[in-house]
Amino acid sequence: MTKYLIKRTISSIISLFLFLTFMFFVMQIMIPTDFTTQFSLILNRQQREQLKQELGIDRPLWERYLDWANRLLRGSLGTSFYGYPVVNELKRLIPKTLLIFLSGTTASFFFGQWLGKKAAWKGPGWFSNLTTFASITLYTSFPPLLAFLLTYFLGRRVNLFRAMFRGNALQRLDRLLWARASLQPEQVMTYMMLTTATVLGFLTLVNWSRKRRREPTLPLWQQLLFFVLGTLGIWFLFGFGRLALDILQLSILPILVFTLLSFGETMLIMRTSMQDTLQEYYITTAEAKGLPEKTIRDKHAARNALFPVLSRLVISIPYLLTGMVIVEDVLHWPGMSQALFESMYNQDVPVVMGALVIVGIVCTVTRLVLDILYAYLDPRIRYTTRSLEAI
Amino acid sequence: MATEAQSQEILRRRLPNRWGLLRAHWRRSREQIKEVTRHPLGLIGTGLIVVFALMVLAHPVLMNTVWDRKRFDPIVGFDAPLAPHPTSPTSIHPLGTDGFGRDVLSQLLAGTRISFAVGLVAAVVAVTISTLMGGSAGYFGGTVDAILMGIADVFVLLPAPIVLMIFGLLVKMNWLTVGLLYGVLTGLGSQAIVVKSHTLSIKVKPFIEAARVAGGNNLHILRVHILPGLMPIMLVHAFFTVVGAVLTESLLSFFSRTTHYLSWGSMIWLGQETFRWFDLSGQWHAIAPPALAVMLFCSAFYLVGRALDDVFNPSLKKRR
């Protein structure tokens, strides 16, 4: 296992670096002219040459690449062509994107696999047909349109959520509240994510310890109650409860859209794989032993059915990120992808590369975690290299 | 005693003709393809694909017979007598006109052509690349496997729609470029890995060893024994690639990153922009047809892909 872990980590770091190299050269080759001729028309020739020298774009491509790689390996993302450090810009953007991405992905994964499990367990019938129809519709529907329709009906017609058709979504935060607060929205978002993760981790620990002592785990409603009360309690205890609720109100629509966009696939795969598992002989054996239905469904069938869902999730991380781009663009959420495309327009290569580094790291880390989880759950995988090959 | 040449000749005659083998495989898969149309989901999907194919054929026919070119052209047509535009559905324009006075039905039919073209190009490119890469990586193993799968690992990290959106900012893309690039990006990435794992499962079967004992070289084994075994998975993935490619093309058109002036994506963009211009009162007759078309087109290909998957991997068939 340790050997597998080391091998997998090293190979994914190498592939991440190759990905970034590829994107670097694509950026440099495809941008039509250089920054100075495009955006500083007031300068005369001498000043332009000087600016080029300052920005370092007068040097040959390979030299620029080596310089960039050298800086990246030391952990520096460089400075933008507009003068500010890239890291500061990214620090402002990452929490906004991660808030939607993480909560949406988690929600869609759990909801999708739960629904798939139910649909397969109930067998053919109206429930299975309805859920399958809904999932195929969501999976194939045109993402921007879905986002638009939800904004239109839930945000405008019913006024359930605060939604924006134009401008910046965060402008609709409660001004009075934020004027008195000493925190920035992105800081509050970071704290929100950290506290939620802490509460979730605590819950997992409680469940695990109960399982070790062979006690039944807490019922679902108790866990949910504990989760909600615990998170809210911590938020208000640390004094940013009202701010956090304000942000939550605003971000619930993007999270909803993102969840709907990504859960169809999980549900479909879970249903198929659960149907497969239910045909196995060990399920018949479990039934013959007279085990309760819930135990068979949740422990014998669903756990084994989860493998294809996990390995499929590896493939779909990039597509989840695409969903993120759409959500940000249509709902005007000022996150990473907005900044990425804006700096593409401005030909601000350092910022673009910085954003791509983050995208690459997110993809790699998620894949690595899933691969390790998969290897932990299914020992056969340790002898090959990739969880994708087990589909 | 037979000479070397004579024994070779005898062997060659006793071995079945490789094209005959391929034909036999094809005959078997044809049976399976027939089975797809008996599958309820497959039947719906096939029916929808036939309808869309008829829509592609209908556009040039209608343009040349019933419709006046100046009024019904999908890109530059304008119905002058019917001002102000947009108009709601009438008998002349069954789906109404959009804000620029163009017939929505004509645009819808013309958009079908582009979706089919993009999907086809992407599927062919992706299947070809993934078979070449995954097949040789799985069959040869060792260094070839390490290098090719290293490339695949890099491309798995590239989300094709996002990369194409970035490309779209820098270069002009038409439908052919979109299809090609989407095919290359998916074919080099996840699909190659999936094909490789299938190749591995075929490679350990006894008939491959028998073929090698009988004197078949690598190319022969790959072409005659492994490629036909990969055909089912290739077909299934071709259908799923079409879904992805069409959605991506619509997305790119929605964000105006393509240079073909007409697509379902750009129609949807125009439709939903009207909701922003005229607060809360837009043109449902202009936005619903392309949206439904994208959804039905993708679900048609998805359903056929799923049906093919069920037929080719019969693990789902009742055991009890």
What value does the mean pLDDT take over residues B205-215?
Answer: 87
CA A358 to chain B, closest CA, distance in angstroms equals 12
What's the count of helices (H) and strands (E) in chain B, helices before strands?
14, 0
Nearest partner of B301 among B225, B249, B241, B261, judged by Cα: B241
Which of A147-156, B111-120, B211-220, B256-265 shows the highest mean pLDDT? B111-120
Given A19, A318, A345, which is nearest B154 (Cβ)?
A19
The whole-number pLDDT of residue A384 equals: 53
Most confident of A8-22, A27-41, A149-163, B280-294: A8-22
A208–chain B Cβ distance below 8 A for any pair: no
Give mean pLDDT, residues B165-185: 87
Q: How many CB atoms lie within 10 A of CB B183?
A: 28
Assess whether pLDDT exceeds 60 at residue A188. Answer: yes
Candidates B48, B153, B158, B191, partner chain A, best to mutate (most A CBs within 10 A): B153
Q: Where are the alpha helices (H) located in chain A, listed in sequence order?
A: 2-30, 35-39, 45-55, 61-73, 86-122, 126-140, 143-150, 175-180, 185-212, 220-237, 241-278, 281-288, 293-295, 302-330, 336-345, 349-377
* Arithmetic mean of pLDDT over chain B: 83
The nearest alpha carbon in chain B to A284 belongs to: B320
CB contact under 8 A, B169 and A272: no
- Alpha-carbon distance A340 to nearest alpha carbon in chain B (angstroms): 9
What does the pLDDT average to over B219-238? Answer: 86
pLDDT one-digit tens code per residue, B76-118: 878 877 777 777 788 888 888 887 888 889 999 999 999 999 9
**pTM of the complete model:** 0.84
Give the minimum alpha-carbon distance from A87 to chain B in angstroms, rounded to a whole number.
Answer: 21
The reply to whether A337 touches chain B by the CB within 8 Å rule is yes
- Chain A residue nearest residue B199, CA to CA: A389
| More confident site: B225 or A31 | B225
Region A317-339 average pLDDT: 82
Nearest-angstrom CA–CA distance, B195 and B200:
9
Chain A residue closest in CA terms to B301: A140
How far apart, in whole angstroms, are the C-alpha atoms of residue B182 and residue B198? 22
In whole angstroms, what is the distance from residue A332 CA to residue A164 CA?
Answer: 7
DSSP A36-76: HHHH-TTS-HHHHHHHHHHHT-SS-HHHHHHHHHHHHHTT-
Record: contact B156-A315, CB cut-off 8 A: yes
Cβ contact (<8 Å) for B190 and A388? yes
Facing residue for B153 by CB, picked from A11, A142, A315: A11
Chain B: residue nearest A324 by CA? Answer: B162
Report the residue from B157, B170, B319 with minimal CB separation from A31.
Answer: B170
Taking the CA of residue A139 and the nearest CA in chain B, the distance in Å comes to: 8
Q: Which two tokens stand for residue B109?
A: 């039919």
Chain B residue with Cα closest to A273: B316
Give the whole-angstrom CA distance, residue A350 versus residue A340: 10
The proportion of chain A whose per-residue pLDDT surpasses 90, expressed as a percent, equals 8
Distance CA B164, CA B258 (A): 10
Of A16, A19, A325, the CB nearest to B162: A325
Is residue A114 packed enough to be buried (19+ CB in 10 Å), middle (13-18) or exposed (0-12)?
Answer: middle
| Percent of chain B topping pLDDT 70 | 91
Q: Distance between CA atoms of B202 and B218, rounded to whole angstroms?
A: 14
Identify any residues that bridge with B103 across adjacent strands, giving them in sequence order: B97
Tell me what the mean pLDDT of segment A304-314 comes to.
Answer: 78
Token pair for residue A325?
């781009």
Q: How far is the alpha carbon of B315 from chain A, nearest alpha carbon, in Å? A: 7
B9 min Cα distance to partner chain A (Å): 41
Chain A residues within 8 A of B185 when measuring between CB atoms: none
**For residue A230, which of A201, A208, A255 has the smallest C-alpha distance?**
A201
Residue A29 touches chain B, beta carbons under 8 Å: no
For position A34, what pLDDT does the model report? 66
Nearest CA to A170 among A151, A153, A185? A185
Interchain proximity A143–B167, CB inside 8 Å: no
The three-state secondary structure class of B255 is coil
pLDDT of residue B316: 47
Q: What is the mean pLDDT of residues A8-25?
A: 86
Chain B residues whose beta carbon lies within 8 Å of the beta carbon of residue A155: none
Q: What is the per-residue pLDDT for A383? A: 55
Contact assignment for A140 to B243 by CB distance below 8 Å: yes
Residue in A107, A59, A53 with CA at minimum distance from that of residue A256: A107
Average pLDDT over residues A48-75: 82
Yes or no, beta carbons of A390 and B197 under 8 Å apart? yes
DSSP B226: I
pLDDT higher at A149 or A202: A202
Identify the pLDDT of residue B2: 57
DSSP secondary structure code for residue A151 in this structure: I
- For the ranges A237-246, B29-38, B45-54, B142-151, the one whose mean pLDDT is highest: B45-54
Residue in the block written with tokens 């991440």: A16
pLDDT of residue B130: 93
Query: How many angstroms separate the CA of residue A204 from the nearest CA in chain B?
Result: 30
Q: Give how far A115 is from chain B: nearest CA, Å.
A: 19
| Per-residue pLDDT tens digits for A268-303 | 888 888 888 888 888 888 889 888 888 888 888 888
Residue type, B256: S
What is the pLDDT confidence band of residue A88, given thresholds at 50, 70 and 90? confident
Contact state of A19 with B158 under an 8 Å Cβ cutoff: yes
Q: What is the separation of C-alpha B186 from the centre of its chain, rounded to a whole number of angstroms?
A: 11
In B, which residues are within 8 Å of A143 by CB distance? 247, 251
Between the two ends of chain A, the Cα-to-Cα distance in Å is 21
Cis preceding-peptide flag for B159 (omega within 30 of 0): no
Does residue A359 sit at the B interface (CB-CB below 8 Å)? Answer: yes
Question: Average pLDDT, stretch A50-66?
Answer: 80
Nearest Cα neighbor of A3 from A357, A387, A389, A385 is A385
Q: For the beta carbon of residue A198, count every other beta carbon within 10 angstroms.
A: 13
Contact between chains at B275 and A148 (C-beta distance less than 8 A) = yes
* Residues found in chain B: 320
Contact A279 B315 (CB under 8 A): yes
Chain B closest-CA separation from residue A46 CA (Å) = 28
Query: What angle separates helix A185-212 from helix A220-237, to the nearest 10 degrees?
Result: 140
Q: Does the distance separating the beta carbons of A279 and B319 come in below 8 Å? A: yes
Query: Can you tell me the distance from the alpha carbon of A218 to that of A200, in angstroms, rounded to the nearest whole number?
Result: 14
Give residues 43 to 72 of A whose Cβ lies within 8 Å of B: none
Q: Does A33 touch chain B (CB under 8 A)?
A: no
Look at A44-53, A341-350, A362-371, B272-281 and tell me which has the smallest mean pLDDT: B272-281
Contact state of A389 with B193 under an 8 Å Cβ cutoff: yes
The CA distance from B208 to the nearest CA of chain A, in Å, is: 21
Q: For B97, phi and psi rounded to 5 degrees?
A: -120, 160
Lowest mean pLDDT among A89-93, A127-131, A290-294, A344-348: A344-348
> Across chain A, what does the average pLDDT equal?
82
pLDDT at B56: 92
* Phi, psi values for residue B103, rounded to 5°: -70, 130
- pLDDT reported for residue A362: 81
Return the amino acid letter for B138.
G
Give me the pLDDT at residue B16, please.
Answer: 56
Residues A339 and A354: their CA atoms lie apart, in Å, by 11
Quote the percentage of chain B above a pLDDT of 90.
22
What confidence category does residue A198 fall into, taking pLDDT thresholds of 50, 70 and 90? very high
Which residue did the predictor score with more confidence, B65 or B314? B65
Contact between chains at B268 and A386 (C-beta distance less than 8 A): no
Name residue A79's beta-bridge partners.
Answer: A85
Which of A163-167, A169-173, A206-210, B188-192 comes out lowest in average pLDDT? A163-167
What chain A residue is nearest to B257 in terms of C-alpha separation?
A341
User: How is B48-78 classified by DSSP, letter by letter?
Assistant: HHHHHHHHHHHHHHHHHTTS-HHHH-TTT--
Mean pLDDT of A330-358: 84
Token pair recorded at residue A114:
């739960």
What is the C-alpha to C-alpha distance for residues A315 and A313, in angstroms, rounded to an integer? 5
pLDDT above 50 for B319: no
Q: Which residue has the higher pLDDT, A233 or B272?
A: A233
Lowest mean pLDDT among A24-33, A157-166, A172-181: A157-166
Q: Which residue of B147, B157, B190, B270 to mutate against A (max A Cβ within 10 Å)?
A: B157
A14, A30, A140 ranked by CB distance to B299: nearest: A140
DSSP state of A320: H
- A388 or B124: which leads in pLDDT: B124
pLDDT digits (tens, 9 = 90+) for A227-270: 999 999 999 998 888 888 888 888 888 899 899 888 888 888 88
The answer to whether residue B318 scores a pLDDT higher than 50 is: no
Provide CB contacts within 8 A for A233, sequence distance 6+.
Answer: none
